[in-house]
Structures are given as structure tokens and as C-alpha cells.
């Protein structure tokens, strides 16, 4: 894969896979397959596994490996698949990247450990570069939030100096950092806004290619509508759609007991993809909360 191919697959709405569970807390792989198919038919060019959305903190290494295998199998080369690791040492990350490559993954999101600020920009850059020798790497800037903007920019610069196979960055920091990220590195790598259209719109003029889309999984028409406005340079229309759909939804999701992810899993059930359950000790939406969420989605035109 080269940079042009990476940018192509990471242009527009990108679906981050939310792992579905049954009432016993086991991964519901049939629901996972339905979710992947919804994203593919809805127009995403990439299915992305992530530590957060894919619930890696609650999964065993064997479950992460199986989820990766099922995702690649169900995607069936229709879209690019980005595998991910979870706080692995360099040696373990290299080994898992090799396994993901053998399964058919196209890219690898590396999220190294950094407990107590134990890494330096150079040691992280060396980590990314070593993994990139096995499989093209996506860096996620979530790793830099606690370390600050200068640390993040230095690490990225050193990483790109060491490897030409770091082909993507997923940004979770936002704000002016996201703009600086695009201005400095968008010619060198594909850059994806980590969730919500307003974050993408903040970065779009500076070279951001795509964004993680909630609606790619639940209501692809909304994602397509936003992207059509971007493609036609209708920035005001894109902003109106954010004001009418995204902003009210995410404001509401923040009020849900158990956090926005509890509501996202409620939406998995409301859109007929699986069940609302999350693995304990995470909170699962009550019947009453789910009914309220249904009413709200109908109210703002996101659910029939």
C-alpha cells in the first residue's frame, strides 16, 4: 500500500467497529458481521478496529485475535481493514502485526503503552517504525493527550523521519493541534478526525481526508449527505447538518447513564443490528432509557 491508496480508503466517513455482546457478555459475532455489512453497504471504504470502540479493554488477547479474524473475513476485501493492538511492547506489537498481516489486514493501528510518561518521542517513533516494517501503521494521537502538543508533534515528526510506511494518523486531540497536524503532515500521511463531523470540519480545510462516523453504522444516509456537501464545497450546508443531527445527538448521548458508549450500544439494538448489552462492569441501558433514546432519535429524524 502507498500513501495515495491509504488516502483513498480513508476519505469520507470511516466506520469504527463497535463490538456487540449478548446478554451473557459474550461477543455476538453474528451481530458483528451485520454491523460490518451495514458499514460496507453504507459506503465506508474502511472498517477500523480500535481499543475504545471495539472494547479491547474488556477483551482477552484471544478474543481480540478472533474479532480481528472475523472482521477481515466478513469484510472480504470489499473495504480496507485496519487492525489494532492494545498497549503492546514493541516485540509483541511486531508479532501481532505479523499475525494480522497473515489474516489479511491492510493496516495496523499501533497504541503503545506509556505508563507514567515512560516513553520519549524517539522511543515511540522507533516503536511505530519497527511495526511499520511488518504492516503499514496508523498512529492514534490519543496516546499524546497526556503528554501535550509539543511532545505529539515531535513524536510524529521523528516517526515520519524513520519510516515511509506510517501511512495514517487518527486524531483524538482536536482543536488547533488537529489543524497543525494537518498543515505539517497531510502531504505525508492520511489524516482522519476521530469522531464527529464538527471535528472533521475543523480540520478539513487543512488537509484532513476523512472522519470516524457514527452514522456510517446506524444511518448511512446522514453520513452520505454530509460528505456530499463536503465534496461540493458546501461548508454552510455541512454545518447546518451538524447543527440539526450531530450536535443534538451527541449532546443527548452525554446525558445517558453509563456514558455515550452505553447509548451507542442501545442504538445497535434500536437499528436492528444486535443487542444493547455491554460486558460487565460496564453499564447496559435500561428498558426505560432505551425507550427514551428511541423517542429522541425519532424526534430528530434519525429513526423511523
Q: Are 47 and 79 spatial neighbours (Cβ–Cβ below 8 Å)?
A: yes
Calculate helix-pair angle for 61-75, 90-103, nearest 10 degrees: 30
pLDDT tens digits, residue range 249-297? 999 999 999 999 999 999 999 999 999 999 999 999 999 999 999 999 9
3-class secondary-structure state, position 83: strand
Radius of gyration of the chain from its Cα atoms, rounded to whole angstroms: 18
CA pair distance 43, 141, nearest whole angstrom: 26
- What phi, psi does 89 have (nearest 5°)? -60, 165
DSSP 8-class letter at 140: E
**Percentage of the residues of the chain whose pLDDT score is greater than 90:** 98
Over residues 106-111, mean pLDDT: 98
Across 122-258, the runs of DSSP E, i.e. the strands, are 137-140, 166-171, 190-193, 210-212
Over residues 170-183, mean pLDDT: 96
pLDDT tens digits, residue range 1-58? 999 999 999 999 999 999 999 999 999 999 999 999 999 999 999 999 999 999 999 9
Residue 56 has a pLDDT of: 97
Q: Are 132 and 102 spatial neighbours (Cβ–Cβ below 8 Å)?
A: no
The yes-or-no verdict on residue 304 having pLDDT over 90 is no
Residue 267 has a pLDDT of: 97
Residue 28 has a pLDDT of: 98
The yes-or-no verdict on residue 197 having pLDDT over 90 is yes
3-class secondary-structure state, position 165: coil
> Which cell numbers hold the place of 113?
503503552
CA pair distance 29, 51, nearest whole angstrom: 17
CA pair distance 271, 36, nearest whole angstrom: 14
Taking CA atoms, 184 is separated from 207, 232, 284, in Å, by 10, 25, 41
pTM given for the model: 0.96
pLDDT band at 196 (very low <50, low <70, confident <90, very high): confident
Across 28-134, the runs of DSSP E, i.e. the strands, are 46-48, 80-84, 107-110
3-220: in CATH 3.20.20.70: yes
Q: What H or E segment, with its residue span, contains residue 14?
A: strand 12-16
The yes-or-no verdict on residue 195 having pLDDT over 90 is no
Longest dimension (CA), the chain: 53
Amino acid at each position: 500500500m502507498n500513501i495515495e491508496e491509504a488516502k483513498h480508503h480513508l476519505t469520507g466517513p470511516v466506520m469504527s467497529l463497535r463490538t456487540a455482546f449478548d446478554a451473557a457478555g459474550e461477543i455476538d459475532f453474528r451481530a458483528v458481521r451485520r454491523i460490518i455489512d451495514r458499514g460496507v453497504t453504507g459506503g465506508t471504504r474502511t472498517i477500523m478496529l480500535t481499543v475504545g470502540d471495539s472494547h479491547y479493554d474488556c477483551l482477552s488477547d484471544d478474543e481480540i485475535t478472533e474479532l480481528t479474524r472475523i472482521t477481515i473475513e466478513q469484510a472480504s476485501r470489499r473495504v480496507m481493514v485496519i487492525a489494532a493492538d492494545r498497549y503492546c511492547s514493541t516485540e509483541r506489537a511486531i508479532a501481532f502485526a505479523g499475525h494480522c498481516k497473515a489474516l489479511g489486514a491492510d493496516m495496523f493501528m499501533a497504541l503503545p503503552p506509556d505508563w507514567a510518561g515512560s516513553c520519549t518521542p524517539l522511543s515511540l517513533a522507533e516503536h511505530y517504525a519497527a511495526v511499520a516494517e511488518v504492516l503499514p501503521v496508523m498512529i492514534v494521537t490519543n496516546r499524546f493527550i497526556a503528554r501535550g502538543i509539543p511532545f505529539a508533534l515531535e513524536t510524529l515528526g521523528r516517526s515520519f523521519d524513520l519510516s515511509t510506511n506510517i501511512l495514517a494518523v487518527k486524531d483524538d486531540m482536536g482543536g488547533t493541534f488537529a489543524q497543525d497536524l494537518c498543515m505539517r503532515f497531510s502531504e505525508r500521511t492520511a489524516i482522519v478526525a476521530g469522531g464527529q463531523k464538527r471535528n472533521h470540519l475543523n480540520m478539513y480545510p487543512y488537509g484532513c481526508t476523512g472522519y470516524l462516523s457514527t452514522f456510517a453504522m446506524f444511518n448511512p444516509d446522514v453520513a452520505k449527505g454530509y460528505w456530499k456537501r463536503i465534496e461540493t464545497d458546501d461548508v454552510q450546508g455541512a454545518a447546518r447538518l451538524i447543527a440539526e443531527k450531530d450536535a443534538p445527538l451527541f449532546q443527548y448521548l452525554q446525558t445517558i447513564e453509563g456514558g455515550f458508549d452505553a447509548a451507542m450500544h442501545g442504538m445497535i439494538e434500536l437499528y436492528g443490528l444486535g443487542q444493547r448489552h455491554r460486558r460487565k462492569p460496564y453499564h447496559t441501558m435500561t428498558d426505560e432509557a432505551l425507550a427514551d433514546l428511541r423517542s429522541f432519535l425519532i424526534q430528530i429524524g434519525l429513526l423511523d
